[in-house]
Chains A and B, each alone.
Chain A
């Protein structure tokens, strides 16, 4: 809602002549130096979509960006891309949880869970669904969703377990492929809007104006084009961006959390300098937009998420964790303008990768309201947490 209030202020004055940027041309510069461009975007594309995207409500944004206009379609692709990334992380996490459950179950006092192998086989088949027989009737819902790019039927079943048994105890098993299918659906939708079948073909995305870059981890269209051409996995788009590195960031040291923190410090210093420069040079409306919308904080978090995804993809959970903890605005506990769902999903994945499955549950908790379909993942992660603790003696203390 803050974005709506700020929009009333925009366009009320003309920008004084700036001395010209010495830092990269970017969506940050565009919005702050030329708020009229931002206002123009909000005229050409549904502003409620941008309000929602700013609030990290990509579902609402997707629905709001409705229309055949290429700019609107690019904006809608942005929302779909965001949802695809959230579900991609959750999907991958759910599969990892099933694998860990299977391994731990074999060590369980009293014998392994007899159903664990079938569940593991289904989880391992989430990508193409071949061999996911344990999903039973749910399998056809997955296939239908992927073919039609419509998640409705899958989401309607998400809170119901695939299997429920009562002997020897009440057992439930939730769909481990749900988020993988949802990621497929949202990516498919994004690609359709970009007239592409794969990300490296999505040049229409980089052909856009501000709608292609606003609030993103990539600073400008060149950055985006380069990352698309590089065929990076979508979650780590812009993580290796030369434009961001040129801000003065040290080289990555894989697997070193302290080096990752140093990278964050360098980023913060660079962004401070940049922000201060713009505060002097930009028109008042641009400064207002920056202050009220937290544009630098937004870019910072988006880039750190991409950077953390890169680390996670290489199996460096502790490095990713250092970046993600730095990315999080600790004063806001829920999903909202300050913290994106992807942040919490990645935090859960990084904590899980670091052996902290109980703390991964903490990270998933804020997603329960905006993404109630994570129930199955939470339950299974909870099962694993309990399983790993069965042989322990609990400890509790005051304060």
Chain B
């Protein structure tokens, strides 16, 4: 990415000299989304981009309560088993077609369609049936009683007329020619992987910034420099080590962007020798997590699948501390013996093939430090860094790995079902514990907040005990935005939800 730096800096200098007028708001992502289709959104960068282009029937207002967006309201049936949703008239898609109830019906059907394999399917499972009443009215029938269905109708609606059927593929042309009803339309995908979005002139609401550019800046070390050189207006996530510099800069505002994220090393639980809990625990005990975190920045080590401030975090579960002696006992019990520098079994050294994403912030630093720590304890580590497409293929689809280093981010529901239920879509490591499944199911079903807390704290304890992952840390996360951008309020998860209110001075 160094090759891009100089022209961008030059661009910043020209802007300072007042050489241009209609300026875009430029924000940086570590990785440009390779496709723009809300049916297949798997990363935060995709979710943020989708927030600019697409809309749901309802969205969050500034107090995070549901408020109509493509809908004008809904009437919930007395038995709570159905609702009639009234749609906003006069809404057009970015290709000029009218938005209608057929689009809602299509979207739900496409998300539910098995062959679509949408990562968002879970978000419409509560809908049993969709009936189009007329162009602007749709009736939803639910699987069971719903008390506030508007809270679940935030999924992005897609234009039926742009697809040939409800069996949608990731490779469909829509991925690079997305059409939404949102405030911005994708104007072009640029050669440098940036994406230019232009204000949608027929948007059904007001928008104040004419153009937004998503820049891919793979080297996170450069992102803050670009902001300081005024070659960017927004950094979605600031590297913790850059926080002091950015806070001291008078041209930048920092905004907390805590997405309830935690880092982990996830094992492939059905692949030897990581199918043996003793091996997983031993590896956990051989890692000095504090030492891994220190160079990354300010954060807090977690003992399970929630961030420490979460109501579900089980503070009774103590984070594992390095313990080489206990690790040795566990490895010995699992049939390994230390011969020479390495632990081996059946003549084969214990080797961890660790896969990480090329562009995950500071992942390389973590992998190298982890490799060094484990190798000094007799474990071979073979790191592999994958690009986005390879990652999705290897990890998401084929689930072909020993261990992955990655990060999960959660909205305020902090629902870990997809990650830890044996049938969870994001349970790439094939973790399976019938008790955890039952607890997750009960937690989903209960309407008692204290019961839900208790159930998920138990999930925390049981998952931590099974060691399907080495739980690492949650980082303090901030966005940095130029002070030229006014009226900024960022959504705690989707970031751009209220960007139509933003102004660029």
Given A355-B65, A396-B408, A169 contacting B147 (CB threshold 8 A): no
Q: Report A72-112 CB contacts with B as 1/0, cut-off 8 Å.
A: 00000000000000000000000000000000000111100
Pick from B61, B253, B360, B411: contact of A395, CB below 8 A.
B411
Contact between B449 and A390, CB atoms less than 8 A apart:
yes
Pick from B46, B64, B152: contact of A355, CB below 8 A.
B64
Among the 9-residue stretches A30-38, A123-131, A150-158, A329-337, the one with 4 or more Cβ atoms under 8 Å from chain B is A329-337
Given A170-B450, A365-B308, A387-B449, A397 contacting B123 (CB threshold 8 A): no
Given A385-B311, A386-B453, A399-B360, A265 contacting B250 (CB threshold 8 A): yes
Q: List A residues 40-81 near B (Cβ within 8 Å).
A: none
Q: Report B370-399 CB contacts with A as 1/0, cut-off 8 Å.
A: 000000000000000000000000000000
Contact between A396 and B64, CB atoms less than 8 A apart:
no
Contact between A359 and B258, CB atoms less than 8 A apart:
yes
Contact between A395 and B413, CB atoms less than 8 A apart:
yes
Number of interface residues of B (CB under 8 A): 77
Contact between B419 and A359, CB atoms less than 8 A apart:
no
Residues in B whose Cβ lies below 8 Å from that of A385: 311, 412
Given A356-B492, A359-B492, A393-B123, A399 contacting B255 (CB threshold 8 A): no
Pick from B258, B310, B426, B453: contact of A396, CB below 8 A.
B426
Given A258-B487, A318-B489, A359-B492, A397 contacting B47 (CB threshold 8 A): yes
Pick from A325, A364, A382: contact of B255, CB below 8 A.
A325
Q: Give complex CA distance A381, B476 in Å.
A: 21
Residues in B whose Cβ lies below 8 Å from that of A362: 256, 258, 309
Residues in A whose Cβ lies below 8 Å from that of B452: 386, 390
Asked if A20 lies at the interface with its beta carbon under 8 angstroms from chain B, I say no
Asked if A261 lies at the interface with its beta carbon under 8 angstroms from chain B, I say yes
Residues in A whose Cβ lies below 8 Å from that of B61: 355
Contact between A391 and B492, CB atoms less than 8 A apart:
no
Q: Report B442-466 CB contacts with A as 1/0, cut-off 8 Å.
A: 0000111111111000000000000
Asked if B270 lies at the interface with its beta carbon under 8 angstroms from chain A, I say no
Distance between A394 CB and nearest chain B CB, rounded to angstroms: 3
Asked if B151 lies at the interface with its beta carbon under 8 angstroms from chain A, I say yes
Asked if A25 lies at the interface with its beta carbon under 8 angstroms from chain B, I say no
Distance between A227 CB and nearest chain B CB, rounded to angstroms: 29
Contact between B493 and A364, CB atoms less than 8 A apart:
no
Asked if A251 lies at the interface with its beta carbon under 8 angstroms from chain B, I say no
Q: Give complex CA distance A89, B299 in Å.
A: 26
Q: Give complex CA distance A165, B310 in Å.
A: 23
Distance between A370 CB and nearest chain B CB, rounded to angstroms: 16
Residues in B whose Cβ lies below 8 Å from that of A391: 146-149, 151-152
A-B CB pair tally, cutoff 8 Å:
169
Contact between B447 and A390, CB atoms less than 8 A apart:
yes
Contact between B147 and A109, CB atoms less than 8 A apart:
yes
Asked if B126 lies at the interface with its beta carbon under 8 angstroms from chain A, I say yes
Pick from A268, A269, A399: contact of B44, CB below 8 A.
A399
Query: Closest chain A residue to B451 by CB distance?
Result: A169
Contact between A356 and B311, CB atoms less than 8 A apart:
no
Q: Give complex CA distance A5, B236 in Å.
A: 39
Distance between B302 CB and nearest chain A CB, rounded to angstroms: 12
Asked if A358 lies at the interface with its beta carbon under 8 angstroms from chain B, I say yes
Residues in B whose Cβ lies below 8 Å from that of A390: 447, 449, 452
Pick from B407, B478, B486: contact of A258, CB below 8 A.
B486
Residues in B whose Cβ lies below 8 Å from that of A325: 253-256
Q: Give complex CA distance A332, B112 in Å.
A: 46
Query: Closest chain B residue to A258 by CB distance?
Result: B486
Contact between A398 and B407, CB atoms less than 8 A apart:
yes
Q: Give complex CA distance A87, B160 in Å.
A: 56
Q: Give complex CA distance A261, B419 in Å.
A: 40
Q: Give complex CA distance A172, B487 in Å.
A: 41
Contact between A398 and B258, CB atoms less than 8 A apart:
no
Asked if A361 lies at the interface with its beta carbon under 8 angstroms from chain B, I say yes
Residues in A whose Cβ lies below 8 Å from that of B250: 265, 268-269
Residues in A whose Cβ lies below 8 Å from that of B122: 393
Residues in A whose Cβ lies below 8 Å from that of B418: 396
Asked if B62 lies at the interface with its beta carbon under 8 angstroms from chain A, I say yes
Residues in A whose Cβ lies below 8 Å from that of B298: 331-333
Residues in B whose Cβ lies below 8 Å from that of A392: 151-152, 411-413
Asked if B339 lies at the interface with its beta carbon under 8 angstroms from chain A, I say no
Asked if B210 lies at the interface with its beta carbon under 8 angstroms from chain A, I say no
Given A325-B254, A362-B258, A172 contacting B412 (CB threshold 8 A): no
Distance between B207 CB and nearest chain A CB, rounded to angstroms: 18
Q: Report A167-190 CB contacts with B as 1/0, cut-off 8 Å.
A: 011111000000000000000000
Q: Give complex CA distance A334, B75 in Å.
A: 47
Q: List B residues 146-198 near A (Cβ within 8 Å).
A: 146-149, 151-152, 154
Asked if B19 lies at the interface with its beta carbon under 8 angstroms from chain A, I say no
Contact between A108 and B255, CB atoms less than 8 A apart:
no
Q: Give complex CA distance A283, B203 in Å.
A: 62
Known: A107-B147, A389-B412. 18 other contacts (CB 8 A): A172-B450, A330-B476, A331-B298, A333-B476, A355-B64, A355-B65, A359-B258, A359-B492, A361-B310, A379-B311, A381-B311, A382-B310, A382-B453, A383-B449, A386-B311, A398-B44, A398-B409, A399-B361
Closest 8 CB pairs of A and B: A355-B63, A394-B415, A382-B311, A394-B413, A169-B451, A386-B449, A110-B447, A391-B148
17 contacts between A and B (CB under 8 A): A169-B454, A332-B298, A333-B299, A356-B492, A359-B256, A361-B309, A362-B309, A383-B449, A385-B412, A392-B151, A395-B410, A396-B419, A397-B408, A398-B44, A399-B45, A399-B360, A399-B409
